[in-house]
Amino acid sequence: MTRETEHALSFGRAVGDYELGRPSYPAEAVEWILGELEAGHPDDRPARAAGTTPRTFVDVGAGTGKFTASLLGHGAEVVAVEPDAAMRETLAAKLAGVVTLAGTGEKLPLDDASADLVTFAQAWHWVDVPAASAEVARVLKPGGLLALVWNIRDESVDWVARLTGIIEPSAAEQYDSRTPTISAPLAPSAHVEFFWDNPLSRQQLLAMVTSRSYIIALQPEGRSNVMRRVERLLDEHPDLASHTTYTMPYVTRVTLARVTP
Protein backbone atom coordinates (compact mmCIF):
# COMPACT_ATOMS: atom_id res chain seq x y z
CA MET A 1 0.00 0.00 0.00
CA THR A 2 1.40 3.41 -0.95
CA ARG A 3 1.68 6.25 1.56
CA GLU A 4 -1.08 8.12 -0.30
CA THR A 5 -3.40 5.11 -0.19
CA GLU A 6 -2.62 4.50 3.47
CA HIS A 7 -3.49 8.10 4.34
CA ALA A 8 -6.62 8.09 2.17
CA LEU A 9 -7.95 5.05 4.02
CA SER A 10 -6.86 6.16 7.50
CA PHE A 11 -9.84 8.30 8.47
CA GLY A 12 -11.95 5.42 9.79
CA ARG A 13 -9.41 5.05 12.61
CA ALA A 14 -10.44 8.49 13.87
CA VAL A 15 -14.09 8.53 12.81
CA GLY A 16 -15.28 10.18 16.05
CA ASP A 17 -12.80 13.04 15.73
CA TYR A 18 -13.64 13.40 12.03
CA GLU A 19 -17.33 13.78 12.80
CA LEU A 20 -16.72 16.19 15.68
CA GLY A 21 -14.03 18.40 14.20
CA ARG A 22 -14.55 18.57 10.44
CA PRO A 23 -16.62 21.49 9.13
CA SER A 24 -19.78 21.28 7.09
CA TYR A 25 -20.13 23.26 3.86
CA PRO A 26 -21.76 26.63 3.19
CA ALA A 27 -25.33 26.50 1.90
CA GLU A 28 -24.43 29.08 -0.76
CA ALA A 29 -22.01 26.63 -2.38
CA VAL A 30 -24.61 23.87 -2.51
CA GLU A 31 -27.26 26.20 -3.93
CA TRP A 32 -24.84 27.37 -6.62
CA ILE A 33 -24.08 23.77 -7.64
CA LEU A 34 -27.78 22.90 -7.84
CA GLY A 35 -28.50 26.07 -9.81
CA GLU A 36 -25.85 25.10 -12.36
CA LEU A 37 -27.32 21.60 -12.54
CA GLU A 38 -30.77 23.05 -13.16
CA ALA A 39 -29.41 25.31 -15.90
CA GLY A 40 -28.02 22.26 -17.67
CA HIS A 41 -31.36 20.44 -17.65
CA PRO A 42 -33.87 23.01 -18.99
CA ASP A 43 -35.90 20.41 -20.89
CA ASP A 44 -36.47 18.34 -17.74
CA ARG A 45 -38.02 21.05 -15.57
CA PRO A 46 -41.71 20.37 -16.35
CA ALA A 47 -41.33 16.63 -15.78
CA ARG A 48 -39.43 17.14 -12.51
CA ALA A 49 -42.01 19.65 -11.32
CA ALA A 50 -44.67 17.00 -11.94
CA GLY A 51 -42.62 14.48 -9.97
CA THR A 52 -42.20 12.07 -12.89
CA THR A 53 -38.39 12.18 -13.24
CA PRO A 54 -36.74 12.16 -9.80
CA ARG A 55 -33.09 13.10 -9.79
CA THR A 56 -30.21 11.12 -8.27
CA PHE A 57 -27.32 12.82 -6.46
CA VAL A 58 -24.21 10.74 -5.68
CA ASP A 59 -21.62 11.86 -3.10
CA VAL A 60 -18.34 9.95 -3.52
CA GLY A 61 -15.78 9.64 -0.74
CA ALA A 62 -18.65 10.69 1.49
CA GLY A 63 -16.92 10.01 4.82
CA THR A 64 -19.37 10.55 7.67
CA GLY A 65 -21.72 12.53 5.43
CA LYS A 66 -20.57 16.11 6.01
CA PHE A 67 -21.37 17.11 2.43
CA THR A 68 -23.92 14.35 1.80
CA ALA A 69 -26.29 15.92 4.33
CA SER A 70 -26.41 19.14 2.31
CA LEU A 71 -27.79 17.25 -0.70
CA LEU A 72 -30.90 16.13 1.20
CA GLY A 73 -34.15 18.03 0.91
CA HIS A 74 -33.82 18.91 -2.76
CA GLY A 75 -36.22 16.37 -4.20
CA ALA A 76 -33.59 13.85 -5.21
CA GLU A 77 -32.51 10.36 -4.17
CA VAL A 78 -29.15 10.77 -2.42
CA VAL A 79 -26.53 8.01 -2.66
CA ALA A 80 -23.29 8.02 -0.62
CA VAL A 81 -20.27 6.04 -1.83
CA GLU A 82 -17.50 5.49 0.73
CA PRO A 83 -14.68 2.88 0.88
CA ASP A 84 -14.22 2.86 4.67
CA ALA A 85 -16.63 0.66 6.62
CA ALA A 86 -16.45 2.69 9.85
CA MET A 87 -17.23 5.89 7.99
CA ARG A 88 -20.13 4.25 6.15
CA GLU A 89 -21.56 2.97 9.42
CA THR A 90 -21.47 6.44 10.97
CA LEU A 91 -23.03 8.01 7.87
CA ALA A 92 -25.81 5.43 7.68
CA ALA A 93 -26.70 5.92 11.36
CA LYS A 94 -26.78 9.70 10.95
CA LEU A 95 -28.53 10.00 7.58
CA ALA A 96 -31.26 7.39 7.39
CA GLY A 97 -32.59 8.73 4.08
CA VAL A 98 -29.34 8.11 2.21
CA VAL A 99 -28.46 4.97 0.26
CA THR A 100 -24.96 4.06 1.47
CA LEU A 101 -22.70 1.92 -0.72
CA ALA A 102 -19.12 0.66 -0.63
CA GLY A 103 -17.04 1.91 -3.53
CA THR A 104 -14.43 4.34 -4.79
CA GLY A 105 -14.17 7.07 -7.38
CA GLU A 106 -12.46 4.64 -9.72
CA LYS A 107 -15.10 1.93 -9.25
CA LEU A 108 -18.58 3.26 -8.59
CA PRO A 109 -21.31 0.72 -7.72
CA LEU A 110 -23.79 2.44 -10.04
CA ASP A 111 -25.42 1.79 -13.39
CA ASP A 112 -24.53 3.62 -16.57
CA ALA A 113 -26.28 7.01 -16.97
CA SER A 114 -27.86 6.78 -13.51
CA ALA A 115 -26.76 10.02 -11.79
CA ASP A 116 -27.70 13.64 -12.40
CA LEU A 117 -25.01 14.98 -10.04
CA VAL A 118 -21.80 13.38 -8.75
CA THR A 119 -19.91 15.19 -5.99
CA PHE A 120 -16.48 14.72 -4.43
CA ALA A 121 -16.03 16.84 -1.28
CA GLN A 122 -12.48 16.69 0.15
CA ALA A 123 -11.97 13.57 -1.95
CA TRP A 124 -10.86 14.20 -5.55
CA HIS A 125 -7.21 14.68 -4.55
CA TRP A 126 -7.13 11.00 -3.49
CA VAL A 127 -8.33 9.53 -6.82
CA ASP A 128 -6.61 8.28 -9.94
CA VAL A 129 -7.86 11.16 -12.10
CA PRO A 130 -8.11 9.44 -15.52
CA ALA A 131 -9.86 6.39 -14.04
CA ALA A 132 -12.22 8.43 -11.85
CA SER A 133 -13.03 10.85 -14.68
CA ALA A 134 -13.98 7.97 -16.97
CA GLU A 135 -16.06 6.35 -14.25
CA VAL A 136 -17.94 9.55 -13.42
CA ALA A 137 -18.65 10.10 -17.12
CA ARG A 138 -20.03 6.57 -17.29
CA VAL A 139 -22.57 7.07 -14.51
CA LEU A 140 -23.66 10.63 -15.39
CA LYS A 141 -26.90 11.10 -17.28
CA PRO A 142 -26.78 13.30 -20.39
CA GLY A 143 -26.40 16.87 -19.14
CA GLY A 144 -25.24 15.65 -15.74
CA LEU A 145 -22.70 17.44 -13.59
CA LEU A 146 -19.55 16.64 -11.61
CA ALA A 147 -18.85 18.94 -8.64
CA LEU A 148 -15.46 18.95 -6.90
CA VAL A 149 -15.54 20.70 -3.53
CA TRP A 150 -12.83 21.62 -1.02
CA ASN A 151 -12.90 23.45 2.31
CA ILE A 152 -9.50 25.16 2.71
CA ARG A 153 -8.50 27.15 5.80
CA ASP A 154 -7.79 30.82 5.09
CA GLU A 155 -4.12 31.18 6.02
CA SER A 156 -4.09 34.94 5.52
CA VAL A 157 -5.08 34.92 9.22
CA ASP A 158 -1.89 34.73 11.32
CA TRP A 159 -2.93 32.12 13.86
CA VAL A 160 -4.33 29.86 11.13
CA ALA A 161 -1.02 30.03 9.25
CA ARG A 162 0.82 29.21 12.50
CA LEU A 163 -1.51 26.26 13.07
CA THR A 164 -0.68 24.88 9.63
CA GLY A 165 3.00 25.28 10.45
CA ILE A 166 2.51 22.94 13.40
CA ILE A 167 0.22 20.31 11.89
CA GLU A 168 1.68 20.50 8.33
CA PRO A 169 -0.42 21.05 5.19
CA SER A 170 -2.87 18.28 4.46
CA ALA A 171 -3.12 16.49 1.12
CA ALA A 172 -6.08 18.74 0.26
CA GLU A 173 -4.15 21.89 1.15
CA GLN A 174 -1.18 20.87 -0.99
CA TYR A 175 -3.43 20.04 -3.93
CA ASP A 176 -4.33 22.61 -6.60
CA SER A 177 -8.00 22.99 -5.68
CA ARG A 178 -8.31 26.14 -7.81
CA THR A 179 -7.63 24.30 -11.08
CA PRO A 180 -7.98 20.59 -10.25
CA THR A 181 -6.95 18.09 -12.89
CA ILE A 182 -9.88 16.48 -14.71
CA SER A 183 -9.50 14.05 -17.60
CA ALA A 184 -11.51 13.34 -20.74
CA PRO A 185 -14.30 12.70 -21.42
CA LEU A 186 -14.97 15.34 -18.73
CA ALA A 187 -13.99 18.99 -19.00
CA PRO A 188 -14.19 21.82 -16.42
CA SER A 189 -17.11 24.19 -16.97
CA ALA A 190 -17.08 26.61 -14.01
CA HIS A 191 -15.25 27.52 -10.78
CA VAL A 192 -16.24 29.68 -7.80
CA GLU A 193 -15.06 30.35 -4.23
CA PHE A 194 -17.08 31.06 -1.08
CA PHE A 195 -15.53 32.66 2.02
CA TRP A 196 -17.11 31.86 5.39
CA ASP A 197 -16.38 31.35 9.11
CA ASN A 198 -16.80 28.16 11.11
CA PRO A 199 -17.13 28.54 14.93
CA LEU A 200 -15.35 25.83 16.93
CA SER A 201 -15.06 24.90 20.57
CA ARG A 202 -11.61 23.93 21.83
CA GLN A 203 -12.63 20.27 21.74
CA GLN A 204 -13.80 20.60 18.14
CA LEU A 205 -10.63 22.37 17.03
CA LEU A 206 -8.44 19.71 18.60
CA ALA A 207 -10.60 17.01 16.98
CA MET A 208 -10.17 18.71 13.62
CA VAL A 209 -6.41 18.33 14.08
CA THR A 210 -6.50 14.69 15.21
CA SER A 211 -8.82 13.74 12.32
CA ARG A 212 -6.17 14.62 9.72
CA SER A 213 -4.58 11.71 7.87
CA TYR A 214 -1.03 12.90 8.63
CA ILE A 215 -1.75 13.09 12.38
CA ILE A 216 -3.54 9.72 12.40
CA ALA A 217 -0.49 8.10 10.79
CA LEU A 218 1.96 9.47 13.40
CA GLN A 219 3.33 7.31 16.19
CA PRO A 220 1.82 8.13 19.63
CA GLU A 221 4.83 10.17 20.79
CA GLY A 222 4.88 12.25 17.64
CA ARG A 223 1.12 12.83 17.84
CA SER A 224 1.41 13.95 21.47
CA ASN A 225 4.17 16.41 20.58
CA VAL A 226 2.05 17.96 17.83
CA MET A 227 -0.97 18.29 20.10
CA ARG A 228 1.10 19.96 22.84
CA ARG A 229 2.25 22.57 20.32
CA VAL A 230 -1.32 23.16 19.13
CA GLU A 231 -2.55 23.67 22.68
CA ARG A 232 0.31 26.07 23.35
CA LEU A 233 -0.76 28.08 20.29
CA LEU A 234 -4.33 28.25 21.57
CA ASP A 235 -3.16 29.33 25.02
CA GLU A 236 -0.53 31.87 23.99
CA HIS A 237 -1.44 33.48 20.65
CA PRO A 238 -2.79 37.00 21.32
CA ASP A 239 -5.84 36.41 19.11
CA LEU A 240 -6.71 33.18 20.93
CA ALA A 241 -5.55 33.39 24.56
CA SER A 242 -8.38 33.12 27.11
CA HIS A 243 -10.85 32.13 24.38
CA THR A 244 -13.09 29.12 24.75
CA THR A 245 -14.40 29.28 21.18
CA TYR A 246 -12.57 30.04 17.95
CA THR A 247 -13.57 31.28 14.51
CA MET A 248 -11.93 29.27 11.75
CA PRO A 249 -11.96 31.12 8.41
CA TYR A 250 -12.48 28.98 5.33
CA VAL A 251 -12.66 29.34 1.59
CA THR A 252 -14.79 26.70 -0.12
CA ARG A 253 -13.66 26.07 -3.70
CA VAL A 254 -16.02 24.44 -6.18
CA THR A 255 -15.13 23.27 -9.68
CA LEU A 256 -17.78 21.88 -12.02
CA ALA A 257 -17.26 19.61 -15.00
CA ARG A 258 -19.44 18.07 -17.68
CA VAL A 259 -19.01 15.38 -20.32
CA THR A 260 -17.66 16.95 -23.48
CA PRO A 261 -19.82 16.60 -26.60
CATH number at residue 122: 3.40.50.150
142 in any annotated domain = yes
User: Higher confidence at residue 238 or residue 8?
Assistant: 238
pLDDT at residue 43, rounded to an integer:
54
Counting the structural domains of the chain, the total is: 1
In the predicted model, is pLDDT for residue 63 greater than 90? yes
pLDDT at 41: 64
Q: Which residue has the higher pLDDT, 183 or 39?
A: 183
Give residue-wise pLDDT tens across range 10-56: 444 468 898 999 999 999 999 999 999 999 765 555 445 445 568 99
Residue 180 belongs to some domain of the structure: yes
Residue 92 in domain: yes
Would you give the DSSP letter of residue 238? T
Residue 90 structural domain? 3-155+170-199+247-259
In our burial notation (b when 16+ CB lie closer than 10 A, e otherwise), range 233-260 reads bbeeeeebeeeeebebebbbbbbbbbbe
The pTM (predicted TM-score) of the whole model is 0.89
pLDDT at res. 170: 83
Instruction: Convert the pLDDT of each residue in 187-229 to its tens digit.
Output: 999 999 999 999 999 999 999 999 888 888 889 999 999 999 9
- Residue of 177, 108, 176, 173 whose CA lies nearest to 144: 108
Note whether residue 161 is domain-resident.
Answer: no
Residue 174 lies in a domain: yes
**Is there a domain that residue 36 lies in?**
yes
Give a yes or no: residue 187 inside a domain.
yes
The CA distance from 117 to 55, in Å, is 8
Q: What is the average pLDDT across 240-247?
A: 94
pLDDT of residue 46: 44
Q: Which residue has the higher pLDDT, 213 or 61?
A: 61
- Looking at residue 169, its pLDDT comes to 86
Is 241 within the bounds of a domain?
A: no
Helix ranges (DSSP H) in 196-259? 202-210, 213-217, 220-236
